[in-house]
Amino acid sequence: MEDTVPIRCRMAACREALDDGKEWSFYLINDSQVAFDSAVLYAVGTEWGDLGNSEATDVRVKDLVPGAHALIWRDDGSNAEFRMDFSLRVLVHGVEARIRCEFPKPYRLRNPQLIDGLGKPGWQVAAE
């Protein structure tokens, strides 16, 4: 019988300028006790009322150790009025988990808090 390791992670949304013309950074943070062999952001979805859209992506991160973070998406702010969701595949010890993180309308987010493990102000959500 193979032991499985719980995969725990969260994402953080930070409003920051990085000289690329974009306004928002989205980070993946590994809260597990083991390294992620890989993490792939394969879709970014937006929804406003009954209108929804999904953009296929292929952002890859390898060897994300416990407590580490990786910048996985930059947004120009045009999606800030939409609910945004991020779909990821995380591989740990040969076992793949599909994970989804959802942010409400980022432009409405107020009072950013310092994100533990990231050291930047922003908003965080736990993976589902």
Confidence class for position 1, pLDDT limits 50, 70, 90: very low
**21 residue type, one letter:** G
Is the pLDDT at 2 greater than 90, yes or no? no
Q: Would you say the C-alpha torsion 20, 25, 26, 32 has a positive or negative sign?
A: positive
State the pTM of this model. 0.90
| Structure-derived torsion over alpha carbons of residues 66, 33, 101, 125, reported in degrees to the nearest 10 | -80
Q: What per-residue confidence (pLDDT) applies to 20?
A: 92
Computed over every residue of the chain, the mean pLDDT equals 90
pLDDT tens digits, 51-96: 788 999 999 999 999 999 999 999 987 777 788 999 999 999 989 9
Rg (CA), the chain: 15
Q: What is the mean pLDDT of residues 4-25?
A: 90
Instruction: For residue 66, give every residue at least 6 positions away whose Cβ sits within 8 Å of its Cβ, in sequence order, or none.
Output: 30, 31, 32, 33, 34, 35
pLDDT at residue 110 tops 80: no
Q: What is the pLDDT of residue 124?
A: 93
